Amino acid sequence: MPALFQRIGHTHSLYSAYFARTWLIIDVKPLQHKTTTAQGSGSYDVISSMSEKTSSPTFWKNRTVLVTGGNGFLGRNVVAAFSSAGATVISPTHKQADLTLPGVALELFKKHKPSHVVHLAARVGGIGYNQVAPAPLYLDNLLMGTHTIEAARIAGVEKTVLLGTVCSYPKFTPVPFREESIWDGYPEETNAPYGIAKKALLVHAQVNAKQYGQKFAFLIPTNLFGPGDKFHPEVSHVIPALIKKCVEAKEQKLEKIDVWGTGSASRDYLYVKDAARAILLASELHESTEPLNLGNNREITIRETAETIARIVGFAGELVWDSSRPDGQPRRRVDASRAERELGWHASTDFEEGLHETVKWFLANRQEALTLPA
């Protein structure tokens, strides 16, 4: 039986709110490439000597790029990256183009005639929404991707860039996650509908490339963060949720805050502008249906994450770990060496530098940050 249908035990938490749903549309910066072993201790840094490839200064001139989900967190940064490179960028909203409906994507592509389509639009939510509405999470993501891929084929789009999810990996994937491991087991239960829908799009891309010669790039980013992230408690993930908690606790002079889990789980955080830069490079330089991981090559525990955010914000109170809440996947770090080889790319934004920028943006844009996406 294919590994896609193998079932392994699962649990998951996004450390965000309990009932959430939003249309996610997913946002470029160059320093040193860091690799850190294991869970916040015994770490070491490796300075990369790889020189990054850059887009041709003329490649995007007179090209039109259509970015689905171009008005969201990552999407705004991706649109900015393509615009800066000289492309004409189209980024319709969900209201303007509901990609779950048959024919909408094809009509959109025939109207704008893009040379490239970057598909970032997705339906996502916090753990509560994943638990209460797994069916639309699966179906809507599958339909949006399916319609986008087929419309791009029919309309003769030069290349389609698809964004996968680190949630597609099996719960017990060996660390660091390598692309060939994506089929080795079942995703965590609460993420499985979303993760499997994204894996199905990878299969769709592979068979279309084989049968029709359709061109693709398929990218799998790890946990994104940065300015413009979502801070509303119904849709926020671990970093924006902790920033909001620490800022409000400091302002209210609280002595402690509660944090989900034990703090022992680890994550690999990728600054949003680094992710956008990779998407820009892959759109020009990469042509394959083999997925590319995008990550920071640094594994950081949730405890270290929370303590670092508290220090940056200036909250001196106690972090109380609520072990009755799930930790989620025990460890997470991706191997991004394939992207380094294929694109000459590596994440270049230092974790603390990215956190400082994110906190600064939140404090300056609190009303926007706390608005629940439509």
Q: Any idea which residues carry the catalytic annotation?
A: 194
Residue pair 331/265 in contact (Cβ under 8 Å)? The answer is yes
Cα–Cα distance for residue pair 259/230, rounded to 1 Å: 18
Token pair for 188: 């965590």
Token digits for 6?
Answer: 């193998």
Backbone angles phi, psi at 294, to 5 degrees: -125, 115
DSSP-assigned letter for residue 105: H
Count other C-beta atoms under 10 Å from residue 372's C-beta: 13
Q: Decide: 354 and 225 in contact? Cβ < 8 Å.
A: yes
Q: What is the DSSP letter of 353?
A: H
Structure tokens at 174: 């060996």
Q: What angle do CA 10, 240, 374 make, to 5 degrees?
A: 90
Distance CA 18, CA 326 (A): 12
Q: Under a CB-based contact definition with an 8 Å cutoff, are residues 359 and 243 in contact?
A: yes
Closest CA to 142 of 131, 134, 130, 152: 134
Closest CA to 329 of 8, 18, 40, 5: 8
DSSP per-residue string spanning 47-98: ---PPPP---TTTTTT-EEEEETTTSHHHHHHHHHHHHTT-EEE---TTT--
Taking a C-beta distance cutoff of 8 angstroms, is the pair 160, 148 a contact? yes
**Distance in angstroms (rounded) separating the CA atoms of residues 198 and 196:** 5
N-term to C-term CA, the chain: 40
DSSP H helical segments within 290-365, as ranges?
302-313, 337-343, 351-364
3-state secondary structure of 244: helix
Strand partners, 321: 259
